[in-house]
Amino acid sequence: MSEQEGDNLVSVRNLKVHFPVTGGVLQRTIGHVPAVNGVSFDLKRGETFSLVGESGCGKSTTALAVLRMQPVTDGQIIFNGVDVTHFNARQMRPIRRGMQMVYQDPFGSLNPRMKVADIIGEPLKVHHLAADRKVFRARIRELMDLVGLLPDMADRYPHEFSGGQRQRIGIARALALDPELIICDEPVSALDVSIQAQVVNLLMDLQARLGLTYLFIAHDLSVVRHISHRVGVMYLGQLVEVSSRDELFNSPKHPYTRALLDAVPVANPEIEARRPHKLITGEVPSVRNPPPGCPFHPRCPDAKSMCRQIKPVLQAVGTASVSCHLYDP
Amino acid sequence: MSEVIYTPPAAGPTQRSPIVAFNLRMFREKPLGAIGGVIFFVFLFCGVFADVLAPYGVNETDMFHRLESPSLDFPMGTDHLGRDVLSRILIGAQLSMIVGFLAAGLATVISIVLGIVSGYVGGKTDMLIQRFVDAWMTFPDLVLLIVVISIVGPGIPQIVIILGLLYGIAGSRIVRGAVVSVRENMYTHAAQSMGARTLYILWHHILPNVMPVVIVLFTTRVGAVILAEAGLSFLGLGIPPPTPTWGSMLSGTGRTYMYLGPWLALAPGLCLTIVVYAINVYGDALRDLLDPRMRGSR
């Protein structure tokens, strides 16, 4: 993490998001769930950085915190060189033009009572960027064309479209303001496999044409391998490994990353039957009571006594960063 | 990238105005609702022009034609004072419509405001409002009505405000439930994340999507309020006689002379039933037709 600040569109420093746990009649706060507990990473301009991990590991919460849609407990979020961590809603408004989101559910993310043109153009209306109806319609046509939708369908309602087409509508909406950062929260996991590739290719195509930066949240490793430049692996609210795509998939360092990659089945059943499986045993521990030391030690096949006591930190191992005592110097 | 894009069929000629087209669609897709709408508008028309349409004066007594059964001269018969029932029904329609619409309208507005604030803001505000609604709903409606009316005296404005508050506060719970479920939708989140102001989100995302609930709430409330007014008149707390309302006609002369002149009870009773039913089916049809997802389906 020694790149120059100018290359980074987003820098997240030691981000913590703790959810209060309330109880009793008066709904007092009686505890905290550290959903994200000290995450740091940088997004370089024009790259795709993926966050992967099991459900509940805090990857979506991290993304929402970057969007400032989730109160930040501690840490810093720097967008375009500006520390936006403590901006209020009014201060965030101009910043929001630079960051948009594509949602997982192509059905729930589009208002069923709005026409496609109004959905795609909503950011323009919110930011008062459409001078008149003609400019507005022209921009809608341009955006629909950009994402591979027929501009003639602008006056239809979302329910008249298929899942893949709806996701294209969501992408067009995210592009309306010409943002630099697009946060994709599992953008293809709700789609048929045959459609997933189309949408992923569209996203990559748009990145090449518009120079977009993606923060890509996913659990499907094959999609991640296809689209990412760099990958961060999260476990229990922490980054356990950050590395370039090739490095991560070819020589995973952290035992958790290795286990994740091992869990991906191989298409050829003969190879699949013969290859060694290193399954992780046990359950993900409760985020509310994370184990002492390394959060992964109760399930780690290589855990040492040190792992139960001392929490590892991210350290450079070759070109990657890994938080694991196996790589202690 | 190979793309399979569905080509929309060419849209038919649509030169008609949207309102005409909408009404045609209602007759085609929801005939029952359309009939309800027609009945409702007929009553509304009669209510508005009651003074012109009524063949006799409302309180014009005719001692030679007392308790007469329906005839050509008196289409709905006469009551014990020889007053023309049809004329009284027409003027009664006017009052029922005024009370029904104003009170149900007030109730709906209160429900929307309370429900949206409670459901959208959530947290402590939600809890405070909901506990207030709980407390309010523990009061027996009738006791509240009797107390307030006996203090301020009977009259249309009082009845409208009290019934509006009663039904509005109770109904806010229903709107709140709908708001909570709409708020959780990702399109609301999307609007927030693009920097939309709260009022914009409430107006463009929350309100249109709770409209089905609001329409049904309103139409059922119109019926309920007309009935409540009738109930109040029965207790002598409604709009004071000799002004005719359907409720007082039903409970006053209608009940007393039920065996001598059944038309006295039947006329207002049937009117009440028909109007309430018509408004309900009309509201249901409106709700379905205004939903873009229901286009072309039945």
C-alpha distances in Å from residue B231, one per residue of B22, B87, B89, B252, B262: 37, 21, 17, 11, 20
Handedness of CA A146, A152, A158, A160 (dihedral sign): negative
**Does a structural domain hold residue B162?**
yes
B93 in any annotated domain: yes
3-class SS letters over chain B: CCCCCCCCCCCCCCCCCHHHHHHHHHHHHCHHHHHHHHHHHHHHHHHHCHHHHCCCCCCCCCCCCCCCCCCCCCCCCECCCCCEHHHHHHHHHHHHHHHHHHHHHHHHHHHHHHHHHHHHHCHHHHHHHHHHHHHHHHCCHHHHHHHHHHHHCCCHHHHHHHHHHHHHHHHHHHHHHHHHHHHCCHHHHHHHHCCCCHHHHHHHHHHHHHHHHHHHHHHHHHHHHHHHHHHHHHCCCCCCCCCCCHHHHHHCHHHHCCCCCCHHHHHHHHHHHHHHHHHHHHHHHHHHHCCHHHCCCC
Kindly give the pairing relationship between strand A82-83 and strand A74-79.
antiparallel
N-terminal to C-terminal alpha carbon distance within chain A: 19
Residue B15 lies in a domain: no
A109 and B3: CB-CB below 8 Å? no
Residue B149, in any domain of the structure: yes
Q: How far is A130 from chain B (nearest CA, A)?
A: 15
Give the total residue count for chain B.
298
Set of chain A residues whose Cβ sits within 8 Å of the Cβ of B295? 157
CA distances from B296 to B29, B35, B144, B210 (A): 8, 19, 47, 22
- Residue A226 CA to residue A224 CA, distance in Å, equals 5
Give the one of A113, A150, A173 whose C-beta lies nearest to B5's C-beta.
Answer: A150
Radius of gyration of chain B (CA): 24
Predicted TM-score (pTM) of the model is 0.80
CATH number, residue B91? 1.10.3720.10
Set of chain A residues whose Cβ sits within 8 Å of the Cβ of B190: 101, 103, 109, 122, 170, 173
- To probe the interface with A, which of B131, B186, B211 has the most A CB atoms within 10 Å? B186
Q: How crowded is residue A54: how many other Cβ atoms within 10 Å of its Cβ?
A: 14
What's the length of chain A?
329
Q: Any CB–CB contact under 8 A between A101 and chain B?
A: yes
* A87 in contact with chain B, both atoms CB, cutoff 8 A: no
Number of Cβ atoms within 10 Å of the Cβ of A117 = 20
Residue whose entry in the numeric block shows the structure tokens 């409760």: A286
Question: What pairing do the DSSP bridges indicate for beta strands A213-218 and A48-52?
Answer: parallel
Sheet containing strand A181-185, strands side by side: A99-102, A181-185, A213-218, A48-52, A230-235, A238-244, A320-322, A315-317
Q: Which of A113, A123, A153 sits opposite B194 (nearest CB)?
A: A123
**What part of A 226-285 touches B (C-beta under 8 Å)?**
none
Ramachandran bin of B82, using left for φ above 0, alpha for ψ from -120 to 50, beta for the remaining angles? left
Which residue in B2, B125, B130, B187 has the most chain A C-beta atoms within 10 A of its own C-beta, making it the best mutation to test that interface?
A: B187
Alpha-carbon span A68 to A77, nearest angstrom: 9
Measure Cα distances from A80 to A129, A165, A194, B242, B279 in Å. Answer: 22, 32, 36, 76, 57
CB atoms within 10 A of CB A289: 9
Q: Least CB-CB distance to A153: which of B8, B186, B192? A: B8
Give residue B262's domain range. 30-62+74-294
Secondary structure element (H or E) that encloses residue A272, with its range? helix A269-274
CA-nearest residue to A26 within chain B is B124
What ipTM was reported for this prediction? 0.83
- Name every chain B residue with its beta carbon within 8 A of the beta carbon of A27: 127
What are the chain A neighbours of B1 within 8 Å (beta carbons)? 148, 198, 201-202, 205
Closest-CA residue of A relative to B128 is A26
Considering CB atoms only, which of B8, B186, B205 is closest to A152?
A: B8
DSSP strand pairing (A28-44 vs A48-52): unpaired
Looking at the domain assignment, is residue B2 inside a domain?
no
Contact at CB, B208 and A152, closer than 8 angstroms:
no
pLDDT of residue A243: 92
Set of chain A residues whose Cβ sits within 8 Å of the Cβ of B197: 126
Which of A92, A113, A148 is facing B208, going by the closest CB pair? Answer: A113
Domain contains B263: yes
Strand partners, A17: A36
Q: Do A111 and B205 touch (CB under 8 A)?
A: yes
**Phi and psi based region of residue A233 (left: phi greater than 0; alpha: psi -120 to 50; beta: remaining):** beta
At A2 the pLDDT is: 41
A171 near A202, Cβ under 8 Å?
Answer: yes
Quote the CA–CA distance of B175 and B169 in Å, as a whole number.
10
A&B contacts, CB < 8 Å: 88
Return per-residue pLDDT of chain A as tens, 329 residues: 444 456 889 999 999 998 888 777 766 777 788 888 889 999 999 999 999 988 888 888 999 999 998 889 999 999 998 899 888 888 898 899 999 999 988 888 999 889 999 999 999 999 988 878 888 999 999 999 999 999 988 999 998 898 899 999 999 999 999 999 999 998 888 888 888 999 999 999 999 999 999 999 988 888 999 999 999 999 988 899 999 999 999 889 898 998 888 888 777 888 878 877 766 777 778 777 778 888 888 888 888 888 888 888 888 888 889 998 888 87
* Cβ(B103)–Cβ(B167) below 8 Å: yes
Name the residue type at position A25: V
In a domain, B13, yes or no: no
Using the Cβ of A66 and the Cβ atoms of chain B, whether some distance falls under 8 Å is answered with no
d(CA B272, CA B249): 11
In B, what residues contact A, Cβ < 8 A? Answer: 1-3, 5-8, 127, 185-187, 189-197, 200, 204-205, 208-209, 291-293, 295
Residue of A69, A153, A205 with shortest CB distance to B193: A69
Q: What angle do CA B183, B283, B93 make, to 5 degrees?
A: 135
Other beta carbons within 10 Å of B174: 16
The answer to whether B187 touches A126, Cβ cutoff 8 Å, is no
The closest alpha carbon to B96, from B85, B84, B104, B108, belongs to: B104
Work out the minimum CA distance from B67 to partner chain A, whole angstroms: 56
Residue of B nearest to A203 (CA): B1
Q: Encode chain B (298 residues) as per-residue pLDDT tens digits.
A: 444 454 444 444 445 677 777 778 878 888 888 888 888 888 888 878 877 777 777 676 766 766 666 776 667 767 767 677 788 888 888 888 888 889 999 999 999 999 999 999 888 889 999 999 999 888 887 788 888 888 888 778 888 888 899 899 988 999 999 999 898 888 998 998 888 899 999 999 999 999 888 988 888 888 788 878 877 877 777 777 677 777 777 777 767 777 777 777 788 888 888 888 888 888 888 888 887 776 654 4
Q: Which residue of A has its CA nearest to B206?
A: A111
Distance, CA of A113 to CA of A195 (rounded, Å): 25
Q: What does the pLDDT read at residue B56? A: 72
How far away is chain A from the Cα of B142, in angstroms, using its nearest Cα? 32
Look at residue B6 and tell me if it is in a domain: no
**Looking at the 3D structure of chain B, how many domains does it have?**
1
Considering only residues 136 to 155 of chain A, which have any Cβ-Cβ distance to chain B shorter than 8 Å? 148-150, 152-153
